[in-house]
Amino acid sequence: MTTWQLTVNGQRKEVAVDPGTPLLWVLREELKLTGTKYGCGIGACGACTVHLDGVATRSCLVPVGLIGDRPVVTIEGIGQDPCGRAVQDAWVDRDVVQCGYCQSGQIMSAVALLKAVPKPTDEIIEESMGGNLCRCATYVRIRETIKSASEHLT
Amino acid sequence: MRAFLNAVPRVSRRGFLRVSTAAAGGLLASLWFDSPLSAQEGPPPVPPKAYPPDAFVHVKPDGQIVITVNRVELGQGIQTALPMVLADEMDADWSQVAAEIAPAGEVYKDPVLGIQIVGGSSSIPNSFQQYRELGAKMRAMLVAAAADRWNVGADQCRAENSVVYGPGGRSARYAELATYAAGRPVPEKVRLKDPSQFRIIGKRVRRLDSKAKCDGSQKFGLDVDLPAMKIALVARPPVFGGRVRAFDDAQARGIAGVIDVFEIPLVRGTGVAVVADRFWPAKQARDRLKIDWDLSGIERADSSELRGRYEQLARTTGLVATSRGDRAAMDRIPAERRVVAEFDFPYLAHTPMEPLNVTVRFDGDGAEAWTTSQMPTFEQGAIAEILGLKPDQVTFRVGFGGGAFGRRGSLDEHVTREAAVIAKRMRGSPIKLIWTREDDVRGGYYRPLFAHRVEIGIGKDGMPAAWKHVVVGQSFLIGSKFEPMAVKDDVDPLLVEGTANTRYSIPNFHVWEHHPKVNVPVLWWRSVGNSHNSFVMETLIDELAERARIDPISYRLKLLGSDANKQRAALTLLREKSGWRSNLPLGHAAGISCTEYYGTAVACAAEVSIKNGRPKIHRVTMAIDCGLAINPLTIENQCQGGIGFGLTQLMAKGAITLRDGRVEQRNFDGYTPPYIVDAPVAADVHIVPSAEAPTGAGEAPVPAIAPAVVNAVSRLTGKRYRSLPLRAL
Amino acid sequence: MAQRVRWRESMRWLLGSFLIIGVVLAAQMESKAAAANNDGLVAWGKVYSVVTSPRCINCHTATNHPEQGDDRHRHFANVVRGPEGRGVPALQCVTCHQATNADSTGVPGAHGWHLAPLSMRWQDNSDKPLSSAAVCRSLRSQTVDLINHHSEEPLVRWAWNPGLRPDGTARALPPLTHDEFVEATRIWIEAGKPCPKGHLR
C-alpha cells in the first residue's frame, strides 16, 4: 500500500493503494468518480477513457504507479472544457445515448479527437472512434454528432 | 416468444385506483389490478398485495411530476416513452416530467403477463393502455378537485400543460391542486383522448436520461456504492457443471484487502468466491487461487462435434412444429427446380457493455438488493428463497442497465443466486458480486448453436410450391419455469419463430425441430429465434427471387399472405425510400430483407461493397410498421441500434466456440462485436404512419440486417452464404 | 649476349616468384575475405532472426496496423498506424502504452511507443515476414546508425525487457541476448554488410 498524490479534474487528491492498481479503480472506488466505466479491463472497449495530461487514455490499463504528476480529467470534469461542454451538449441535443454505459468513453474520445482535429473528415472520425465499443450501436448518431459538434466549434 | 407470451394466462383487468398522500404533501396514485385468471392452465392466481410505497405518478409541490415506469431502462427508451403516454393523457407539462424505474413490486407487474418483465418487446403493447388510463385518471381527479374548489361542474373545466382552467378565467396549477385532489375518489372509468388530441405521443421527444448519461452522473448497477460494501468475484469451473475438488487459497489470502475465500454452490456445479474490500484485490486474489476441478462425468461440449451432429440430425424429420399441405408434394417437383440448403450458426454471447453485477445485503430478517434486471419478480423470489425470507422481505431495487439484450433475464437467476449465497455468509455487509468481462464471455447463457436444413420445391412460376425445413438447436424454455406455459407436445416455438410463423404464403409447408440437450447454458438473445430463422428465410427467398428474375421487393410482396399487412406496408415504404438502389456505384450492391417480430414488421435495404475481405456497409434504409409510433425518435434509435446489434452475427470474430468443453474466447479480443467501422455509415429510418395499437421496436430491426447485407454480398460475389459468422470474402 | 639472357631469366624467375607470391597472397586475402564474408553472412542470419522475432516484427509491419502476441495476430480494438506511426487522435499508441511496462495489467511499454516507419517494414501486406535477402537489402540501405539503433533505442531495448502478459506470464524474448544482437550487427557491418542471395520478397 502506497500513498499517491493525483490531480483529478483540477483537484489534488490523495489515495492509498497498491502501485499496480489501475487508475480506473482508483477513480471509481477511492474517489467515487463512477462516471468512468469498467467494460472489459483489457483496453478493447474504451469505456474507461480519461484524459491523462491531455491524451485520451484507457484507465483500466494504467497502474496508478505510472501516472506521476500528469493531471487526470474524467467525464465528470470534461464539461469545464469548452470543447467538452460542446460535445456533451451536442450528444444530448441529438439524442445519441441509449443505455449510456459506453458514452463517457465515447465522449472523452470524441473530445480528444476534436481538440486535435477540429474539422475531422469521415475517415478520421471512423479511425479515431474505431476502438470505442457500443453494444447498443449508437455509431450512426456518434458520427453525425461529432460532425455537428465540429461545425459549432470555432 | 409470441407463442409463449400468448400462452401465459391473461389477467382480467378490473382496476381501481388507490390514492394515498405522501408525507411530502404530493399526490400519489397507484393502480391495482385484480387478477382472477380466465385461463384454465398455468400457476394459481396471486392476490394483489397492499404495497403502500407504490406510485405511478407523484405530483410534487414544486410542480415536478415523477412518473414511475414498471420497466427497467436498458437503453430501449421505455423510460421516456411510457411517461410520454401518461403525461399526454394527464395533460401534464412535459418539461416538468421526470421518470423513475419501479422496484420489484406487485403493482409493477406486466398487466397482461402477471410478472414484472422486460422482454419479447412487450413493454409498449402491454403497458400502453395501462399508462393511458393512469394519466387520464390523474387528470380527472385534478380537474374534479379544481371543479370542487370553484364549485363548478367538471365539464366546465379543461386541463392543459399542468394547469386546470375554469369558468370566469380561473386557473389552478396541478401542484396547487395535488394535496386537495388526494382526498378525491378515483374514477372507475375515464375517457381517453382521441389520437388527434395527442400533444406528446407521436412527437420526436428527446429521452429524459440523456444528460445524466453524458456527464457521468448516471448510476448503473455496477456503480452502486454503500457503506461497508464488499466486492465479490467467483472462480467458476472451466467446463459447465464442474465442481471444486480442492483449492489452495494461501496466495489469494495474502493479497491485502482480501476478507474471505470460500466454496459456493452454483446453479451448475460449484465455484470459489473471493470477497475483498475493493475490486482490484479481489481480482488479484482470484487470479492466485489454485483450484483442483473435478470435471469427471461431465459432458464436454465441442462446437465442431455439435455442428457435425446437428447437420446429421437436420437431415431427419423431428418434432412437428408446423405442417400444412401435402408432404409428398416435394416428390412431384423435378430436381432442377429444387433447392437444398444447409445452414449453421454458432453460439452468440450478448456482452452488454455493463458487466453483470448484483449487490445484496442480508440482515437476517430482511434483505436489500440493487441491480438491473429484466425479471425483477423472479430475482426477488430467488434471493428470498436462498435467504429463507418471503419475497416481500426483500427490497429489490432496479436500476438503469448498461444494456441487456436478454442476458439480464436469465430463467434460473443464476447471477442473483450467487450473490445471495455470498451475502448470506457475509451477513450484514452489502456484497457487490461482479462478473468480469472474461466471466461474461465464458459464462454461458448464449444464443444457441443452430443447424437448419431446407428443401424447397419451386413452382413453374418461380414461387415456392413445397417447403421442408428442419431446425436443430437447444431449447432454454424446456426445463425452465416457462415450459408448462409455452411448450406443447415437446415443441418449443422459439426454435422456429421466423420460419414456422412466417407470413409468406407457402403451400405444402412443413417445419420440424430437434432440441438436443447439451451441457451449455443457453438463453434468449435479442430477437430470439428470429436471429437465425430470419437469416435462413430471407436469404433463401432472395435466392428464389434471383432465380425467378423478379425484383426482391416485388417477389416478397407477391409471396406474402393476405394477413401480412404490416410487412406489405413496410416493403412498400422501403421501395419508396430506397430509390438509391437503382443508382449504385460500381462494386456496390443492394440487399433486401423483410422480417416481423411480435407484431412489428421491418423491411430493410443495405448498400454494401467489399473492402479488405469484409462487407462495408455504406447505408441502410429501414422501414418499420409498429402501429402507432409513440416516440419516432426512440424508434429511429432502436432501428439504428438494432441494425448495429444484428451485425454481431456477421463479424469475423462474432462467434463463441467450445473445444473439449471449454469456451475458447475470453474477452472482446476473441469475441469481437461490431465497432464503428463495422456499422453502417448512414442509416435512415422511415415509420409507416399508423393508428393501430402500438407494438414494440426494440427487437424487430435486429434480424433484418444480417440477411440484407449478405444478400447484397451475394450479388457482388455470386456466392450464397449459409454459415455464420462471415469469414473473409 | 649471355649476360642479357641471364638477366631475362632472372627477371622471369623474379616475376614468377612475384606472381606465385601474389597469387598466394591474393588467395590468402580472398579466403580471408571469404571468411569475413562468411562471418558477415552468419552474423546477418543472427540479426535477421532477431528482427523478425515477434517482439520486434510486431511493430515493423507493412500495413496500417500493428500486431501483438507470439502468434503475431492483428492488434485488437482497430488500432491503426496513423500519419506518424503513433496512432490517431483518441486512439494513439500512448492511449494504452506507457513509458514502461505495466505488469499489473499486462501492457508492454517503453518511452515513445510507436510503430516503425514503413521504410523499416520487415513483412509484406499479408503480414508474412520478408525473406532474409529482402530484409538485408533494406537494412543495408538504411542511413540510420544501426549500431546505435540496435544498442540504444528504447523501443529496441524493450524487446529484452518485454514485461508480463495479462495472464501474468513473461513475454518471450528474442532468440539472442541483446549483447549478442549488437555484436552480430557490428560483425555484419564490418564485413561490408553482405547479403544472402535469394528472392527479394
Mutation site, C68, C93, C98, interface A, largest A CB count within 10 A: C98
* Residues on chain C touching A19 (C-beta within 8 angstroms): 104
DSSP 3-state of B573 = helix
Q: Is the pLDDT of residue B379 over 70?
A: yes
Q: Is the pLDDT of residue B42 over 50?
A: no
Taking the CA of residue B659 and the nearest CA in chain A, the distance in Å comes to 23
Backbone angles phi, psi at B626, to 5 degrees: -120, 30
Domains and CATH numbers, chain A: 2-73 (3.10.20.30), 78-152 (1.10.150.120)
Q: Is residue C11 part of a domain?
A: no
Comparison of pLDDT for A22 and C9, the residue scoring more: A22
Q: Is the pLDDT of residue B386 over 70?
A: yes
Q: Give the lowest-confidence range in B140-144, B171-175, B399-403, B657-661.
A: B140-144
Q: What pLDDT is attached to residue C6?
A: 79
* Residues on chain C touching A42 (C-beta within 8 angstroms): 76, 106, 166
Neighbours of chain B (3+ CB pairs under 8 A): A, C
What span, in angstroms and rounded, lies between the C-alpha atoms of B135 and B75? 24
Mutation site, C63, C75, C91, C92, interface A, largest A CB count within 10 A: C91
DSSP B694: P
What span, in angstroms and rounded, lies between the C-alpha atoms of C14 and C16? 5
Under the banding of pLDDT at 50, 70 and 90, the label for residue B5 is very low
C-alpha distances out from residue B644 to A109, A140, B636, B711, C86, Å: 20, 9, 13, 17, 29
Mutation site, B653, B669, B675, interface C, largest C CB count within 10 A: B669
Contacts of B46 (CB under 8 A, 6+ apart): B35, B106, B114
Q: Is residue C34 part of a domain?
A: no
Find the mean pLDDT for residues A88-110.
98
Q: What pLDDT is attached to residue B363?
A: 97
Mean pLDDT, chain B, as a whole number?
92
Find the mean pLDDT for residues B503-529.
98
Taking the CA of residue B163 and the nearest CA in chain C, the distance in Å comes to 49
Binding-face residues of B in 505-534 toward A, CB within 8 A? none
Q: What pLDDT is attached to residue A124?
A: 97
* Residues on chain B touching C76 (C-beta within 8 angstroms): 668-669, 672
Cell of residue B198, nine digits: 395527442
Find the mean pLDDT for residues B324-352.
97
Instruction: Say yes or no for a CB contact (<8 Å) between C94 and A124.
Output: no
Find the mean pLDDT for residues B365-383.
96
Comparison of pLDDT for C30 and B714, the residue scoring more: B714
Q: Is the pLDDT of residue B37 over 80?
A: no
Instruction: Say yes or no for a CB contact (<8 Å) between B667 and A44.
Output: yes
- When CB atoms are compared, the residue of A21, A115, A130 closest to C78 is A130
Comparison of pLDDT for C102 and B103, the residue scoring more: C102
Q: What are C's interface residues with B at a Cβ cutoff of 8 A?
A: 76-78, 168
Q: Is residue C7 part of a domain?
A: no
Q: Is the pLDDT of residue B13 over 90?
A: no
Instruction: Say yes or no for a CB contact (<8 Å) between B672 and C76.
Output: yes
What span, in angstroms and rounded, lies between the C-alpha atoms of B328 and B45? 46
Find the mean pLDDT for residues B415-421.
98
CB–CB contacts below 8 A, B to C: 9
Which of B253-261's residues contact partners 24+ apart within 8 Å by CB, and which partners?
A: B253/B285, B254/B288, B255/B281, B255/B284, B255/B285, B255/B288, B256/A1, B256/A18, B256/B281, B257/B281, B257/B282, B258/B282, B258/B285, B259/B230, B259/B426, B260/B425, B260/B426, B261/B285, B261/B289
Q: Is B399 on the interface with A (CB under 8 A)?
A: no
Q: Give the lowest-confidence range in B146-160, B176-190, C40-54.
A: B176-190
Cell of residue C14, nine digits: 623474379
Q: Is residue C168 part of a domain?
A: yes
Neighbours of chain C (3+ CB pairs under 8 A): A, B
Closest CA to B645 of B526, B533, B477, B538: B526
Q: What pLDDT is attached to residue B203?
A: 98
**What number of CA atoms fall less than 13 Å from residue B455's CA on the CB side?**
18
Instruction: Say yes or no for a CB contact (<8 Å) between C168 and B669.
Output: no
Q: Is residue C32 part of a domain?
A: no
- Residues β-bridged to residue B98: B66
Q: What pLDDT is attached to residue C201?
A: 63
Q: What pLDDT is attached to residue C25?
A: 80
Q: Is the pLDDT of residue A153 over 90?
A: no
ipTM for this model: 0.98
- When CB atoms are compared, the residue of B287, B669, B677 closest to C76 is B669
pLDDT digits (tens, 9 = 90+) for B290-312: 999 999 999 999 999 999 999 99
Which of B41-48's residues contact partners 24+ apart within 8 Å by CB, and which partners?
A: B41/B9, B41/B484, B41/B485, B42/B8, B42/B9, B42/B484, B42/B485, B43/B9, B45/B11, B46/B106, B46/B114, B48/B106, B48/B107
Domain B315-347+446-717 fold is Aldehyde Oxidoreductase; domain 4 (3.30.365)
Q: What is the DSSP string of B426-456?
A: TTTS-EEEE--HHHHHHS--BBPPEEEEEEE
Contacts of B675 (CB under 8 A, 6+ apart): A130, A131, A132, A133, A139, C77, C78
Number of domains observed in the structure of chain C? 1
Neighbours of B467 (CB within 10 A): 27
* Residues on chain B touching A141 (C-beta within 8 angstroms): 637, 640
Instruction: Say yes or no for a CB contact (<8 Å) between B672 and C168.
Output: no
- When CB atoms are compared, the residue of B355, B668, B683 closest to A133 is B668
In B636-687, beta strands by DSSP E: 658-659, 662-663, 682-687
Instruction: Say yes or no for a CB contact (<8 Å) between C78 and B287.
Output: no
Q: Provide the residue range defining the domain that includes C151.
A: 40-190
Q: What pLDDT is attached to residue C8?
A: 81
What span, in angstroms and rounded, lies between the C-alpha atoms of A8 and A24? 12
Binding-face residues of B in 351-380 toward A, CB within 8 A? 351-355
Find the mean pLDDT for residues B622-642.
98
Domain B221-296+356-434 fold is Aldehyde Oxidoreductase; domain 4 (3.30.365)
Closest CA to C155 of C56, C31, C80, C45: C56
pLDDT digits (tens, 9 = 90+) for B52-83: 223 699 999 899 999 999 999 999 999 999 99
Q: What pLDDT is attached to residue C33?
A: 76
* Residues on chain C touching B669 (C-beta within 8 angstroms): 76-77
pLDDT tens series, chain C, 201 aa = 566 677 888 888 888 888 888 788 877 877 777 777 889 999 999 999 999 999 999 999 999 999 999 999 999 999 999 999 999 999 999 999 999 999 999 999 999 999 999 999 999 999 999 999 999 999 999 888 999 999 999 999 999 999 999 999 999 999 999 999 999 999 999 999 999 988 776
b/e map B486-507, b = 16+ CB within 10 Å:
bbeeebbbbbbbbbbbbbbebe
Region for residue B447 given its phi and psi (left: phi exceeds 0; alpha: psi -120 to 50; beta: otherwise):
beta
Positions of CATH 3.30.365.10 in chain B: 2-214, 221-296+356-434, 315-347+446-717
Q: Is B125 on the interface with A (CB under 8 A)?
A: no
Find the mean pLDDT for residues B188-193.
87
CB B705 within 8 A of CB B643: yes
- When CB atoms are compared, the residue of A20, A44, A137 closest to B643 is A137
Share of residues in chain A with pLDDT > 90 (%): 97
- Residues β-bridged to residue A58: A49
CB B456 within 8 A of CB B336: no
Closest CA to A71 of A23, A111, A1: A23
Q: Which helix (H) or strand (E) holds B66?
A: strand B65-69
- The domain B2-214 is classified under which CATH number: 3.30.930.10, 3.40.50.300, 3.30.365.10, 3.40.630.10? 3.30.365.10
The amino acid present at B153, given as its one-letter code, is G
Q: Give the lowest-confidence range in A91-100, B96-105, B177-186, B681-690.
A: B177-186
Is C131 exposed, middle or buried, given 0-12, 13-18 or 19+ CB atoms closer than 10 A? middle
What span, in angstroms and rounded, lies between the C-alpha atoms of A84 and A98? 20
* Residues on chain B touching A1 (C-beta within 8 angstroms): 256
DSSP C87: E
CB A102 within 8 A of CB B75: no
What span, in angstroms and rounded, lies between the C-alpha atoms of C125 and C71? 17
Instruction: Say yes or no for a CB contact (<8 Å) between C78 and B677.
Output: yes
Find the mean pLDDT for residues B13-27.
30
What span, in angstroms and rounded, lies between the C-alpha atoms of B661 and B299? 7
Share of residues in chain B with pLDDT > 90 (%): 87
What span, in angstroms and rounded, lies between the C-alpha atoms of C175 and B332? 69
Region for residue B305 given its phi and psi (left: phi exceeds 0; alpha: psi -120 to 50; beta: otherwise):
alpha
Q: What is the DSSP string of C54-75?
A: HHHHTTS-SSSS-EETTTTEEP
Residue appearing with cell numbers 606472381? C19
**Structure-derived torsion over alpha carbons of residues B293, B294, B298, B302, reported in degrees to the nearest 10:** 30
What span, in angstroms and rounded, lies between the C-alpha atoms of C165 and A60? 15
DSSP 3-state of B539 = helix
CB A131 within 8 A of CB B675: yes
Q: Is residue C91 part of a domain?
A: yes
Q: Parallel, antiparallel, or unpaired: how do β-strands B163-165 and B243-248 relate?
A: unpaired
Q: What pLDDT is attached to residue B183?
A: 72
Q: Is the pLDDT of residue B712 over 70?
A: yes
Find the mean pLDDT for residues B113-123.
91
DSSP 3-state of B79 = helix
CA B307 to chain centre: 27
- When CB atoms are compared, the residue of B287, B669, B672 closest to C168 is B287
Q: What pLDDT is attached to residue A154?
A: 67
* Residues on chain C touching B677 (C-beta within 8 angstroms): 78
Binding-face residues of B in 201-230 toward A, CB within 8 A? 206-207, 209-220, 222-223, 225
Residue of C nearest to A108 (CA): C90
Q: Is residue C23 part of a domain?
A: no
